[in-house]
Amino acid sequence: MANISKRLQKEKIAKLLMQLSGILITGSLFLILGTILYKGLPHMTWEMISQTPKGGFYLGKSGGVLNAIIGSLYLAGLSTILATLIGIPIAIYLHVYVRQGTAISRFSKLLFDVLFGIPSIVYGAIAFSIMVFFGIRASLLGGVITITLLTIPIVVRTLDELLRTIPQDLKHVTASLGATRWESAKVMLKYIRPGLFTALLLAFGRAIGDVAGVMLTTGYSDNIPKYLDEPTATLPLAIFFQLSSPIPEVQGRAYASALILTFLILIIVLCTHFLSSKQKKHQT
Amino acid sequence: MDRRIVKDKLVKNSSALLLGFMLLVVLLIFIGLILKSQPLLESHPLGDILSKSVWAPMKGEFGFLPFILGTVWVTLIALLIAVPLCILAAVYLVEYAEDRLRNMVLPLVNVLAAIPPVLYGVWGVLFVVPVIRDVIAPLFGLQISGYSVFAGGMVLAVMIFPIMMSIMVEVIQTIPQELKAVSLSLGATKWETIQHVILKKARPGIIAAVVLAISRAFGETIAVLMVCGNIPKVPNSLFDAGYPIPALIANNFGEMMSIPLYDAALMFAALLLFIIIFGFNLLSRLILNKLEAPH
Amino acid sequence: MYSFPILQAEETPNIISLKQPHIQIKDLHVVVEGQEILKNINLSIPNNSVTSIIGPSGCGKTTLLKTLNRLLDDSKDVEISGSVLVNGEDIYAKNAEVTHIRKKMGLLSQKPFTLPMSIFENIAYGPKIHGEKDKGKLKAIVEQQLRNVGLWEEVKDRLDSSATRLSIGQQQRLCLARGLAVEPEIILGDESTSALDPISTQIIENLLMDLKQRYTIVLVTHILRQARRVSDYILFLYQGEVIEFGKTEELLLHPKHEITKQYVKGFIS
């Protein structure tokens, strides 16, 4: 073959390009983490995570973003709990009570896929209009409702994937023992338990990082909320606000806040990773 | 015995209720958006709204073209960067890389999916914008702030890496080994096999991944808003500022309610997003479901 | 566990010597995931004839076939030692060029795997890859190969339609034609008729018997009657070892080894 060396050369070039693409894609992760670490670390102080904003905080005076950290944890925690309480029955219903492959089952799954894709700003805008209509002010409750709607599809979709991995035999066994469908559903839930926590963590991660949904509905406050109807600061919004400030100290705090959020997210990612490898072992 | 069955029925009905409730939520969002944007649609013809490029709410002029084109620019730039990179990397991971490398890279790419948009925005402001300002723009002899559709596209590209990669890898993995063996045993090189057989066979899946990524890109709000410049003018080049639809909503909602029709205009923007994203999502899911069907 | 006499060196099956055998296998060992699938294979496969590899499932038949055109290269955790000589060239030599080797061997797999393109493109794919650009020549190749497998009359009016629209039997013939289009010297068949109906099976078998005039053919089959019908030589493989290799009639009627006897009689499968 006369042209074989040329063909092999092409292969080599293609392979090089592929490797390069892979490096660029993976590298972008480290670039992002690196940038935030590099900029955030010099501004990171104990004050940042232990104090709420003091007077003149937004002019560069002392204080921290504890209000936003706690606010975010409240918001994400409550939304995740609510989303789970609503999401688990729906996922179970779609798997146990509705026959697979029927129009209802396919339509519902499609619906949740699509719901998952709707941007949070749309949820936020709608929730805001409803709140205005009923005269509710921006508050933790408003945020929780918005973010719950946002995270239900995540819970349902993740559980759906998990329930699909359950061997048909297991379903048949419980059914043939005379269990009602609810009873076999409980067995199934037990089977996917490690995965269940993965779903929760995914929802929590999405909830804690969302801005567009909360910026209209949750408001902002320098205090740690005590009641559901108080406006509440969230970490992503704290980053967003501080970053747009012209004062260098405040910008620095935005970088440090970004570092805190990154840290929280990485913890969630690590837990998810740990749990999903456990789920895999559990299944084999 | 009876109690068990009653319990079963109870669970069934309440779950069905919850499912119905979620269906209702979608419907309510859709109807709500239409109702709220009605005032704008009544006073301005739809064609004008979509095709005019003057945005002057004070004077009652609501041309959406700058925002639509802003979104289109940013999305296209993101796709131009991300699609080739993701296809190449996905093929490499499935066809060339060893298991160990693949099991290392894929989780890392998934970490990208977990990073919240606002952190992408921070990265965009701290890294992408300065790079465009200090490195790329000077190459073209330009002096700009760096806040541009290009910056938005670059940040978005990284944001859609994970969803594209994960779908593409999955799709390429499902191509039967035997099909590759056919091409190889005819004396094709691995790259030729990839070009002519694998990529061809994977095409519907790749398209679905891209469509899904488009719908993700369309809706992305905060990260793009932070780096895009947000000037309501139709962008003419990579380095012009742009103003995507989600940014319009996020920046103005709830603030200028005193201007007549402004509220309706922003609701219309949300409706536009909802319809476009719903459509694209539906499309890609239908393609993917069809691909899964034979199994 | 069935016990059988282990072959001693002097007992190694009689290698049928012919002038310049196409394929010669020397000291071949294949280890997959730590398990020795093929143990010390030494063989010469005769030219211009059909050789069938038989043996119980899991004995390494398909692995042996795949080592012949280096299709195992891409599999995971595979160690291959020894050599396979094709026309005297070791295809496992360090500087061996794998696409060139594979081109020499047409592979017909268990199920027909058509490429995701039209009937015409399926056959033109190989020649195109190897640098044939002339449209007229490509057309001629496609027609000739389709005639070779008796498919021309059936598909000549729909060359541009997708290959998946053909029946399974037609697809398998298309796959054969596709393999022949790159002008191989050897045809490898991996249970090539196992997915086919009896009539298509017969067509393929007859084709193979015609083709042996021009090609050396190696088939893997688990159907003894098929091996008897089509092959000139039979190779009996058991647990990764060559137990017996000889002319078809001889091996089937007068097997030398107890284990071969058992297999031929159908006691082990």
C138-165 tens-digit pLDDT = 999 999 999 989 899 999 999 999 998 8
pLDDT at C74: 73
pLDDT at B257: 67
C268: pLDDT strictly greater than 90: no
Strands (E), chain A: none
Question: Considering only CB atoms, which chain B residues are within 8 Å of A15?
Answer: 92, 96, 191
Contact assignment for C107 to B179 by CB distance below 8 Å: no
Confidence of residue C13 (pLDDT cuts 50, 70, 90): very low
C9: pLDDT strictly greater than 60: no
Q: Which of B135, B159, B126, B133 is nearest to B147 (CA)?
A: B133
pLDDT at B256: 63
Q: Tell me what the pLDDT averaged over chain C comes to.
A: 86
Count CB atoms within 10 A of the CB of residue C206.
Answer: 13
CA distance linking residue A163 with residue A175, whole number of Å = 16
Q: Kindly list the residues of chain C whose beta carbon comes within 8 Å of any beta carbon in chain B.
A: 69, 71, 74, 76, 99-100, 102-107, 109-111, 113, 115-117, 125-126, 129-130, 175, 178-179, 182, 188
Question: Considering only CB atoms, which chain A residues are within 8 Å of C99?
Answer: 1, 4, 7-8
CA distance linking residue B83 with residue B151, whole number of Å = 17
Contact assignment for C76 to B99 by CB distance below 8 Å: yes
User: Which chains reach chain A with 3 or more Cβ–Cβ distances below 8 angstroms?
Assistant: B, C
Question: What integer is the mean pLDDT of A4-21?
Answer: 92
Question: What integer is the mean pLDDT of C226-243?
Answer: 92
B105-119, B264-278, C68-82, range with the lowest pLDDT: C68-82
Confidence of residue A187 (pLDDT cuts 50, 70, 90): confident
Question: What integer is the mean pLDDT of B99-117?
Answer: 92
CA distances from A145 to A81, A151, C251 (A): 11, 10, 79
Residue to mutate among B182, B183, B199, with most C CBs inside 10 A, is B182
Contact assignment for A93 to B19 by CB distance below 8 Å: yes
Contact assignment for C179 to B181 by CB distance below 8 Å: no
Contact assignment for C99 to A3 by CB distance below 8 Å: no
pLDDT digits (tens, 9 = 90+) for A34-79: 999 999 999 999 988 888 888 777 777 778 899 999 999 999 999 9
Question: What integer is the mean pLDDT of B139-156?
Answer: 94
Question: Considering only CB atoms, which chain C residues are within 8 Å of B182?
Answer: 107, 109, 113, 115, 175, 178
Closest residue to B184, CB basis, from C102, C104, C179: C102
Token digits of residue B188: 């094709």
Give the end-to-end CA distance of chain A in Å, rounded to a whole number: 48
pLDDT digits (tens, 9 = 90+) for C98-126: 888 888 888 898 889 999 999 999 999 99
* Cβ–Cβ pairs < 8 A, chains A and C: 14
Q: Would you kindly state where each structural domain of chain A is located, as residue ranges?
A: 4-43, 47-283
C157 to chain B, closest Cα gap in Å: 24
Question: Considering only CB atoms, which chain B residues are within 8 Å of A182?
Answer: 4, 7-8, 11-12
Query: Which domains are present in chain C?
Result: 1-104+227-269 (3.40.50.300)
Question: What integer is the mean pLDDT of C219-228?
Answer: 91
Confidence of residue A283 (pLDDT cuts 50, 70, 90): low
Contact assignment for B186 to C182 by CB distance below 8 Å: yes
Residue to mutate among A6, A7, A11, A12, with most C CBs inside 10 A, is A7
pLDDT at C8: 36
Residue of B nearest to A239 (CA): B118
Contact assignment for A7 to C99 by CB distance below 8 Å: yes
Closest residue to A3, CB basis, from C97, C103, C131: C131
A7 touches chain C (CB under 8 A): yes
Question: What integer is the mean pLDDT of C162-172?
Answer: 91
pLDDT at A117: 85
Closest residue to B116, CB basis, from A31, A119, A210: A210
Residue to mutate among B122, B184, B266, B285, with most A CBs inside 10 A, is B122
Question: Considering only CB atoms, which chain A residues are within 8 Å of C131?
Answer: 1-3
Token digits of residue B276: 């476009």
pLDDT digits (tens, 9 = 90+) for A104-152: 888 888 888 888 888 889 988 888 888 888 888 888 999 999 999 999 9
Question: Considering only CB atoms, which chain C residues are within 8 Å of B180?
Answer: 74
pLDDT digits (tens, 9 = 90+) for C43-60: 888 888 999 999 988 888
pLDDT at A146: 92
Q: Which of B232, B63, B90, B218 is nearest to B161 (CA)?
A: B90
A6 compared with A182, residue with greater pLDDT: A6
Contact assignment for A112 to B22 by CB distance below 8 Å: yes
DSSP single-letter state for residue A47: H
Closest residue to A265, CB basis, from B116, B127, B289: B116
Contact assignment for B186 to C178 by CB distance below 8 Å: yes
ipTM: 0.90
Q: Is there a contact between A128 and A219 (Cβ–Cβ < 8 Å)?
A: no
Confidence of residue A1 (pLDDT cuts 50, 70, 90): very low
pLDDT at C59: 87
Question: What integer is the mean pLDDT of B95-108?
Answer: 91
Q: What percent of chain A has pLDDT over 70?
A: 97
For C29, counting Cβ atoms within 10 Å of its Cβ (0-12 exposed, 13-18 middle, 19+ buried), the class is middle
B10-14, B79-83, C220-224, range with the lowest pLDDT: B10-14
C95 to chain A, closest Cα gap in Å: 13
CA distance linking residue B27 with residue B37, whole number of Å = 16
Q: What percent of chain C has pLDDT over 90?
A: 42
C15: pLDDT strictly greater than 60: no
Token digits of residue C84: 């396979």
pLDDT at C6: 39
Question: What integer is the mean pLDDT of B254-276?
Answer: 85
pTM attached to this predicted model: 0.86
Residue of B nearest to C75 (CA): B177
A227 to chain B, closest Cα gap in Å: 23
Contact assignment for C129 to B178 by CB distance below 8 Å: no
Q: Is there a contact between A120 and A213 (Cβ–Cβ < 8 Å)?
A: yes
Residue of A nearest to C99 (CA): A4
Token digits of residue B121: 């925005």
pLDDT at A112: 86
DSSP H or E stretch at residue B72: helix B65-91
Contact assignment for C97 to A4 by CB distance below 8 Å: yes
User: Which chains reach chain B with 3 or more Cβ–Cβ distances below 8 angstroms?
Assistant: A, C
Gyration radius of chain C's alpha carbons:
19
Instruction: Dump the DSSP string for A114-151.
Output: HHHHS-HHHHHHHHHHHHHHHTPPS-HHHHHHHHHHHH
Confidence of residue C4 (pLDDT cuts 50, 70, 90): very low
CA distances from B234 to B36, B241, C47 (A): 26, 9, 73
CATH number 1.10.287.110 is the correct assignment for the domain at A47-283: no
Residue to mutate among B186, B199, B201, with most C CBs inside 10 A, is B186
* Alpha helix stretches (DSSP H) within chain C: 61-68, 98-103, 119-129, 135-148, 152-155, 168-180, 198-211, 224-230, 248-253, 258-265
Contact assignment for A117 to B118 by CB distance below 8 Å: no
pLDDT digits (tens, 9 = 90+) for B208-223: 999 999 988 998 889 9
pLDDT digits (tens, 9 = 90+) for B69-89: 999 999 999 999 999 999 999
Q: What percent of chain A has pLDDT over 90?
A: 41
Question: Considering only CB atoms, which chain A residues are within 8 Å of B292?
Answer: none
Q: Kindly list the residues of chain B whose beta carbon comes within 8 Å of any beta carbon in chain C.
A: 99, 176, 178-189, 192, 196-197, 200-201
pLDDT digits (tens, 9 = 90+) for A141-181: 999 999 999 999 999 988 988 888 888 777 777 777 777 77
C14: pLDDT strictly greater than 60: no
Residue of C nearest to A11 (CA): C99
Question: b or e along B121-136 (b: 16 or more beta carbons within 10 Å of the residue's beta carbon)?
Answer: bbbbbbbbbeebbeeb
Count CB atoms within 10 A of the CB of residue C97.
Answer: 16
A192: pLDDT strictly greater than 50: yes
Contact assignment for C100 to A1 by CB distance below 8 Å: yes
pLDDT at C221: 92
* Cβ–Cβ pairs < 8 A, chains B and C: 68
